[in-house]
A and B are shown apart, each in its own frame.
Chain A
């Protein structure tokens, strides 16, 4: 089957990118050295084509009836009622009735609608899930395949974006705030552990935006560096660190569950309350390898409290060692051993993130 292409595909190709199949999309893995791309984001600014993401708008079918909000309060374990003004956003999970994670999303409250940015790999599942629950409401659920998405990330990202585009309002946004400017939405969000923006714009605007940013010194970054940046920042990847068989409580995402008000019956609440009462058997936590070698997904982790498994592992360029996320028994802490290519190697269990505010979080 032919891979889907973003409006930036030709630019990636002409930049010499190594392209990969990512959830049915042809996306750039790296343009040159993946490690240099990683450092460019930590030191200055980089841009990512994330137009493969699934963008879903929810609108009250009768303006002002509140059904879009009501649907999202049922769908997302975090509570969009906390978004007390247009332009605010939150991170949360969609759960199934068993409390397993259907997807992780950012939900935006915009002046006339809610907008949810979901993953690409889960697109069909999420669209059918939303359609199923939307049947109880008079709400319009509209995918937005007409929008491209570009993330600009790094300590200089906002400054360079404003200089390149003139959208000076972006500089005033706080974390998890967004503004709309005509057909564009500009949000202070990201997936790298750095300051930055995510811009949603019509397909036809994407190439010009990309080229202006490049001229303004923003470097194109591939999915390889995206993975090492997000893992250093302790951010989960759906389908690896969490899926429909794991709950937020087992995925280091308990903080994203809005338990109050008690009467809000979000999907999966009963299962999650039961798991919370009994204490979940497993936790998702971090690991740093104390020797040479690279931890990879699927490797076994031995701890004093029992065995676990690596869900994501990389060589972390900003840390100079391998770090991983792992699902291990609830009481696991301290030292662990990871079987790397048949050989047990010492590692430390650490609470993610590994990198925050421009510095490592552990010695």
Chain B
């Protein structure tokens, strides 16, 4: 099974969210998501100061396999971007919960974090997705 971090909240669409002490919510994609995508080659981040809404497209990850929309896990304003991803998109594969973060949001309604999944619920969610995949394979 893929690596999970117990301190994070997860969206069913495979983004993670971490509430920092300063009240910002840092956003990235899960280890499961990066493994499914394969090597990441480009990332389109939102603009600084852009307003984003929970479950709305706010970034794009282009991997060797496909382009995928990234949804904001909570609503708010984008207050920080991980500029390192422009030259090193592989950080998303190598360190999805650390140096591979995407952007940070100043949340307009921090209680939206409670609508997300905890690590164990997200893990179950991924296992059922993997099971659906395996039904088409010969595992």
Partners in one complex: yes
CB distance from A63 to the nearest CB of B (A): 42
Complex-state Cα separation, A224 to B44, whole angstroms: 23
Q: Which of B77-123 contact A (CB under 8 A)?
A: 90, 93
CB distance from B89 to the nearest CB of A (A): 10
Interface 0/1 of A1-42, CB less than 8 Å to B = 011010000000000000101000010011001110000000
Q: A33-B93, A34-B64, A314-B64 are in contact. Are A292 and B136 (CB under 8 A)?
A: no
Complex-state Cα separation, A2 to B137, whole angstroms: 8
Complex partner residue of B137 from A19, A292, A294, CB under 8 angstroms:
A19
Complex-state Cα separation, A155 to B41, whole angstroms: 26
**Residue pair B39, A34 in contact (C-beta under 8 Å):** yes
CB of B20 closer than 8 Å to a CB of A: no
Q: A33-B39, A315-B41 are in contact. Are A341 and B138 (CB under 8 A)?
A: no
Q: A33-B39, A292-B42 are in contact. Are A21 and B64 (CB under 8 A)?
A: no
Main secondary structure of the interface of A (DSSP, over half): mixed
Chain A positions within 8 Å of B47 at CB level: none
CB of B67 closer than 8 Å to a CB of A: yes
CB of A236 closer than 8 Å to a CB of B: no
Complex partner residue of A26 from B67, B90, B93, B138, CB under 8 angstroms:
B138
CB of B51 closer than 8 Å to a CB of A: no
- Interface residue tally on A, bucketed by range: 20 to 34
Interface 0/1 of B51-91, CB less than 8 Å to A = 00000000010101111000000000000000000000010
Q: Which of A238-278 contact B (CB under 8 A)?
A: none
Complex partner residue of B67 from A5, A33, A35, A341, CB under 8 angstroms:
A341
CB of A145 closer than 8 Å to a CB of B: no
**Residue pair A315, B67 in contact (C-beta under 8 Å):** no
CB of B46 closer than 8 Å to a CB of A: no
Q: Which of A327-342 contact B (CB under 8 A)?
A: 341
**Residue pair B62, A293 in contact (C-beta under 8 Å):** yes
Interface CB pairs A-B, < 8 A, 22: A2-B138, A3-B138, A5-B138, A19-B137, A21-B136, A21-B137, A29-B38, A30-B38, A33-B39, A34-B39, A35-B39, A35-B64, A224-B64, A292-B44, A294-B41, A294-B42, A294-B67, A296-B66, A296-B67, A315-B41, A315-B42, A315-B62
B residues contacting A by CB (< 8 A) are 38-39, 41-42, 44, 60, 62, 64-67, 90, 93, 136-138
The 7 A-B pairs of least Cβ separation, nearest first, read A315-B41, A35-B39, A3-B138, A292-B42, A294-B62, A34-B64, A34-B39
A residues contacting B by CB (< 8 A) are 2-3, 5, 19, 21, 26, 29-30, 33-35, 224, 228, 292-294, 296, 314-315, 341
Given A26-B138, A296-B67, 15 more A-B residue pairs with CB atoms under 8 Å apart are A21-B137, A30-B38, A33-B39, A33-B93, A35-B39, A35-B64, A224-B64, A228-B64, A293-B62, A294-B42, A294-B67, A314-B64, A315-B62, A341-B60, A341-B67
